[in-house]
Amino acid sequence: MKALVYRGPRDIAYESMKDPELHDDRDAIIKVDKCAICGSDLHIYHGETFSEDTGYCVGHEAVGEVVEAGRGVRQLKTGDKVMISAAVGCGQCRSCLAGIVNRCENNAAGCYGLSAKLQGCQAEFVRVPAADFNAQKIPDGITADQALMMTDALATAWFGARNADIQRGATVAVVGLGPIGLLAAEAAFIMGASRVFGIDLVEGRRAMGRAFGMETPDPATAREYISEATKGRMCDSVIEAVGHSATIRASLGLAGRRATVSVVGVNQDRSFDFPMSKAFGMGLTFRIGTCSVPQEWSELIPLVQSGRIKPERYISHTLPLSDGKHAYDIFDRRVDGAMKMVFDMGL
């Protein structure tokens, strides 16, 4: 099969790999129809890897068709169109059955495309472990593009908003207006926020936020703008969707007393100096972590089916997999209006 393979920093290659095989009776092989680049994939692209491995397939967002299923797979059959959860678990323990895969009691929690341990989804085929749990039939009324966004981006955005303790009438700030940040802002409005401020260096992304009611001040003076707009109270909830230490510090600076700061951007800075005394004095709640995708689906599916959220609007590019190197380059440089980069295997 063909796949996008990590060879080293800024070196994503379109290469042939061995087709995946079943490792367990509960596995399934999925023929990928569409897959996408996530912002967190850029950490691997930059060489900030989670493993010393090279030569493995990257990516963790995909939808496709079941082409082979182990004898232990009960809910899926050949020909089913499925969306694949970026986060995987054993599918049998209490935590997984509650949807919280990152607390898997059998130490099977993981993510595609971080190392050779579980090959990624930016490929023609992918092996899904515990397929009855880690993949789900695409529900009626949901397109392939919408389902693709639900495999990680939309679920993470909803998770980030939930973690921000947004109450009706709340004032919310979102730092970073990529697809996840913009979807988190939409989620904030759905959860009852009265004002949502969006901060991003790219004017095109700020314009997308203004289209659905966000206030998007100049990032250079955003803190002053928010202070004036809230009469010094600042924000009740802040969602950080970048993952840089500077943006996390900026997010903490936008929080008011008894506020909650929710970080979903991936940060690997071991030297980050958390302002503990300030957080203590202001009574801040700070949450950071990854999303357990299946936990969010039950709330998101009806929102997408009803058209309340249209995550596909953030797909900016649809390309063949063979254009993977180019796609990573423009996504990394945030040029050509790059937002969500999708690979369509039919192209």
Return the CA Rg of the chain: 20
User: pTM here?
Assistant: 0.96
Between CA 278 and CA 284 the distance in angstroms is 8
State which residues form the domain around 21: 2-152+292-344
Between CA 189 and CA 206 the distance in angstroms is 16
The pLDDT score that the predictor gives to residue 272 is 85
Task: Convert the pLDDT of each residue in 187-246 to its tens digit.
Answer: 999 999 999 999 999 999 999 999 999 999 999 999 999 999 999 999 999 999 999 999
CATH of the domain at 78: 3.90.180.10
User: What's the average model confidence in pLDDT over 25-31?
Assistant: 98
The pLDDT score that the predictor gives to residue 120 is 97
Q: Are residues 148 and 9 in the same domain?
A: yes
Q: Are residues 138 and 22 in the same domain?
A: yes
User: What's the average model confidence in pLDDT over 35-62?
Assistant: 93
Q: Are residues 148 and 14 in the same domain?
A: yes
Average model confidence (pLDDT) for the chain?
A: 96
| End-to-end CA gap in the chain | 15
Q: Which of 273, 288, 303 is the last residue of a domain?
A: 288
> From the DSSP assignment, how many helices (H) and strands (E) are in the chain?
12, 17
Q: Tally the domains of the chain.
A: 2
H or E element at residue 45 = helix 41-45
Q: Are residues 276 and 297 in the same domain?
A: no
Task: Convert the pLDDT of each residue in 105-125 to its tens digit.
Answer: 999 999 999 999 999 999 999
CATH of the domain at 246: 3.40.50.720
The pLDDT score that the predictor gives to residue 328 is 98
Beta bridge partners of 127: 29
Q: Are residues 98 and 163 in the same domain?
A: no
